[in-house]
């Protein structure tokens, strides 16, 4: 009940503190086609670990990688010698290549253990090429890594805080190859909505046309608006996009109730409406209790055995039910939350009530349970 009241008070405060309609910038609800990050991945080795690296018996790929690295550095053929080091770990290195990244630009990387290493703390990543989905190398990573978690192990106990087998290297990679994308050569740019909606797309197109004039944009579908780059603005594409992304509009959204049954979190959208319904919360509780007893034979009894005699008690508790009227039609979110809170329900009971109202056809919203 305390959780449901807190949720209701929180949502109620939001409804009173902010207006029901908010204008947002285009850049906050949409992205420009082509202006995106690209995923990079690579395989490398982390050295300098204090005995927390891979055990080569369980990670044969680490041993093969060490041999190949040493051979490239001129150490010689080690195929006949058994490597027993525990100071090296095989890792996967991932990074996001920012849009319009130029040669020499630094990029952050994430280093994740691939074998059975227990910690990457204190290690150094050896030169690792990072490739894109097309197989081309776009960046090279190297440097000392920073681990947020830690792990300590004793003879009979151990403690681990965070994930010591995942680390980051700030500015740990350098861009070696640029993505071939010329913004100034485009004749048009498509704007992709993060939450596709025809109403929002039409409002976005109208806002752009009112600012740039004419038919500068058109709606292609519920998630795409095409912006034409012609006329005087063709030579200054970044300037046009800067002007467009800061235009404000009122986005539309469907009515939705999101429920997280695991934590009891309930989020009700501003457009949720219900019909007039009567709700009651009560029920029948049946309690069954087992109190078995042990029956012992007399001390001098021949052939007597000890038996367990079951004893079961059953009680029925019926709770009193009260009906509460939830007003429907054009009720606001504030009134709906107040009505649910007035019933005095727990979070679990509130979820059950919302599901029952939806099943009755009185809740005009999508009910999403995550």
Q: Write the DSSP assignment of 122-175 as a string of letters.
A: T-EEEEEEEE-TTS-EEEEEEEE-B-S-EEEE-SS-EEEES-TTEEEEEEEEEE
Q: Rounded to 5 degrees, what angle do the CA atoms 277, 278, 280 make?
A: 140
Given this model, what pLDDT does residue 146 score?
86
Report CA Rg, the chain.
Answer: 32
**Mean pLDDT score of the chain, rounded to an integer?**
79
Tens-place pLDDT, residues 136-178: 999 999 999 988 766 666 555 566 666 889 999 999 999 999 9
Distance CA 224, CA 239 (A): 21
Tens-place pLDDT, residues 63-79: 888 888 888 888 766 65
For residues 346 and 4, the answer to whether their CB atoms sit within 8 Å is: yes
Asked whether the whole model's pTM tops 0.95, one would answer: no
Environment class of residue 134 by beta-carbon count within 10 Å: exposed (0-12), middle (13-18) or buried (19+)? exposed
């Amino acid at each position: 009940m305390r959780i449901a009241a807190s949720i209701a008070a929180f949502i109620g405060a939001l409804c009173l503190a902010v207006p029901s309609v908010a204008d947002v910038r285009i850049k906050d609800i949409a992205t420009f086609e082509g202006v995106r990050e690209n995923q990079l991945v690579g395989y490398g080795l982390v050295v300098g670990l204090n005995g927390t690296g891979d055990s080569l018996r369980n990670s044969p790929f680490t041993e093969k990688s060490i041999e190949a690295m040493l051979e490239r550095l001129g150490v010689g053929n080690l195929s006949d010698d058994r490597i027993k080091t525990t100071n090296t770990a095989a890792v996967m290195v991932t990074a996001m290549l920012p849009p319009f990244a130029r040669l020499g630009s630094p990029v952050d990387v994430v280093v994740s253990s691939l074998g059975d290493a227990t910690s990457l703390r204190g290690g150094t990543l050896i030169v690792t090429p990072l490739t894109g989905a097309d197989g081309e190398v776009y960046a090279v990573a190297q440097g000392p890594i920073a681990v947020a978690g830690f792990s300590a192990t004793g003879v009979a106990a151990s403690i681990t805080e965070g994930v010591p087998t995942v680390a980051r290297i700030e500015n740990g990679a350098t861009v070696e190859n640029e993505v071939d994308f010329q913004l100034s050569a485009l004749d048009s740019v498509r704007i992709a909505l993060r939450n596709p909606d025809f109403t929002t797309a039409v409002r976005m197109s109208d806002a752009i046309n009112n600012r740039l004039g004419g038919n500068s944009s058109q709606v292609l579908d519920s998630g795409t608006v095409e912006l034409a780059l012609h006329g005087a603005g063709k030579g200054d594409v970044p300037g046009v996009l800067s002007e467009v992304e800061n235009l404000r509009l009122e986005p539309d959204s469907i009515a939705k109730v999101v429920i997280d049954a695991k934590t009891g979190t309930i989020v009700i959208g501003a457009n949720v409406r219900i019909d007039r319904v009567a709700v009651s919360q009560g029920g029948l509780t049946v309690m069954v209790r087992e109190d078995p007893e042990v029956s012992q034979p007399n001390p001098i009894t021949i052939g007597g055995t000890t038996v367990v005699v079951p004893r079961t008690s059953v009680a029925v508790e019926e709770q009193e039910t009260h009906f509460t009227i939830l007003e429907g039609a054009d009720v606001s979110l504030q009134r709906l939350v107040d009505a649910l809170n007035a019933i005095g329900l727990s979070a679990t009971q509130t979820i059950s009530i919302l599901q029952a109202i939806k099943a009755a056809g009185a809740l005009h919203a999508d009910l999403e349970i995550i």
